[in-house]
Amino acid sequence: MLTVRDLTVGYNGVPIVHGVSLELVAGATACVVGPNGCGKSTLLKGLAGLIKPMGGTVELTGRGDITTMSTAERAAGGMGYVPQIDDVFKPLTVEENIVIGGYALPRKRVAINKERVLELFPRLRTMLKRHAGVLSGGERKMLAMARVLMLEPTVLLLDEPTAGLTEEMATRLLDEQLAELKASGIAVLLVEQRANLAMASADWAYVLASGRVRRSGSAAELRADPSFSHIFLGGTEETFTDNAADTTQNEGEVRCS
Ligand SMILES: Nc1ncnc2c1ncn2[C@@H]1O[C@H](COP(=O)(O)OP(=O)(O)O)[C@@H](O)[C@H]1O
Ligand SMILES: [Mg+2]
């Protein structure tokens, strides 16, 4: 559904994500895991069109090359994006937020899709009249997802959807709700700090360090790889990078903290 080739994105002319290539397949989840500050959110912002790429291409099945499209055009073309920091209209109610998510659809479809997202997130149904601003972090994240799902995306980019959720709610989100979205044919790109949890539910995984893909492969296989678990069990990125095949560093590259 999505083919990313050699994407370089950053801020103010300074690249943060260097030459990343990845592919998303319909009905499958790929996760991007990596240490704090390594460029996961920057990568998603580049894919969603919030920041202009400095190089590379992004192709969306059915739409062709979308590299220069705006965020709104991408959304209309089937790309759903839920940012890391909450993306809800705080003064509006939960219900209003959901309905606004379907702004581009006929009224009948809005009603159908609203029912669909409430079935996926039954917790939201109990708080329809509540203002989004008083929701917990985890509830807001669910609302942001529900809002994005209203437009029936074919590709869903999720930046740390389990942040603010209890372990139990996070597991449910990844194992049940995401599984349901996958079953409906959506291609999901999941960015997570909870690497083990994400990789347990994902089909494919990309390990990002210093803005580069250091490893990619079947999530189950990577999860079992000792050099991978090392970094998330207290190993430093340096050690991890040393173990990886590509140890080159560009001059002036922004390193992870
Ligand atoms: N708006 C911005 N302007 C400049 N630098 C930024 C901005 N947002 C993030 N960065 C920098 O980009 C790097 C990667 O950040 P980010 O993509 O948020 O990492 P992650 O999501 O993996 O934690 C960090 O060094 C961060 O300070
Ligand atoms: Mg981030």
Residues 6+ apart with CB under 8 A from 133: 90, 91
Cβ atoms 49, 74 nearer than 8 A: yes
Q: Does the residue 82 lie in any domain? A: yes
Cα angle, residue 62 at apex, residues 58 and 67 outer, rounded to 5°: 20
| Residue 38 CB less than 6 A away from ligand 1 | yes
Q: Give CA 230 to chain center in angstroms.
A: 24
Q: Does the residue 45 lie in any domain? A: yes
Check residue 232 and give its pLDDT: 54
Look over the chain and give the mean of its residue pLDDT values, rounded to a whole number: 88
Which ligand is nearest to the Cα of residue 83, counting in written order?
A: 2
Q: Does the residue 102 lie in any domain? A: yes
The CATH number assigned to the domain holding 123 equals 3.40.50.300
> Looking up tokens 């990568």, which residue turns up?
43
Q: What is the mean pLDDT of residues 234-253?
A: 40
Residue 257 has pLDDT above 80, yes or no: no
Residue 149 has pLDDT above 70, yes or no: yes
Q: What is the mean pLDDT of residues 56-73?
A: 94
Tokens representing residue 205 in the block: 């995984």
Residue 254 has pLDDT above 60, yes or no: no
pLDDT band (50, 70, 90) for residue 255: very low
Long-range contacts of 238-246 (CB under 8 A, 24+ apart): 240/209, 240/214, 241/209, 241/210, 241/214, 244/209, 244/214, 244/215, 245/214, 246/212, 246/214
Check residue 104 and give its pLDDT: 86
Sheet with 14-24: strands ordered across: 14-24, 2-11, 55-60, 64-65
| Residue 153 CB less than 6 A away from ligand 1 | no
Q: What is the mean pLDDT of residues 69-95?
A: 93
Residue 84 Cα to ligand 2 midpoint, Å, equals: 6
Q: Does the residue 252 lie in any domain? A: no
| Residue 37 CB less than 6 A away from ligand 1 | yes
- State phi, psi for 49 to the nearest 5 degrees: 85, 15
Check residue 229 and give its pLDDT: 67
Q: What is the mean pLDDT of residues 12-38?
A: 95
Question: Per residue in 203-243, pLDDT tens?
Answer: 999 999 999 999 999 999 988 887 776 655 444 444 444 33
CA distance 256 to 188: 25
Residue 40 Cα to ligand 1 midpoint, Å, equals: 8
Check residue 164 and give its pLDDT: 81
Check residue 237 and give its pLDDT: 46
Range of the domain at 92: 2-243
Q: Does the residue 253 lie in any domain? A: no
Question: Per residue in 103-112, pLDDT tens?
Answer: 889 999 999 9
CA distance 138 to 132: 12
Check residue 29 and give its pLDDT: 96
CA distance 116 to 31: 25
Q: Does the residue 38 lie in any domain? A: yes
Residue 145 has pLDDT above 90, yes or no: yes
Check residue 230 and give its pLDDT: 66
Check residue 71 and give its pLDDT: 94
| Residue 83 CB less than 6 A away from ligand 1 | no
Check residue 2 and give its pLDDT: 97
Check residue 128 and give its pLDDT: 98
Residue 51 Cα to ligand 2 midpoint, Å, equals: 15
Number of domains within the chain: 1
CA distance 212 to 191: 14
Q: Does the residue 130 lie in any domain? A: yes
Check residue 137 and give its pLDDT: 86
Q: Does the residue 35 lie in any domain? A: yes
CA distance 181 to 241: 34
| Residue 254 CB less than 6 A away from ligand 1 | yes
pLDDT band (50, 70, 90) for residue 247: very low
Residues 6+ apart with CB under 8 A from 186: 26, 27, 153, 154, 155, 156
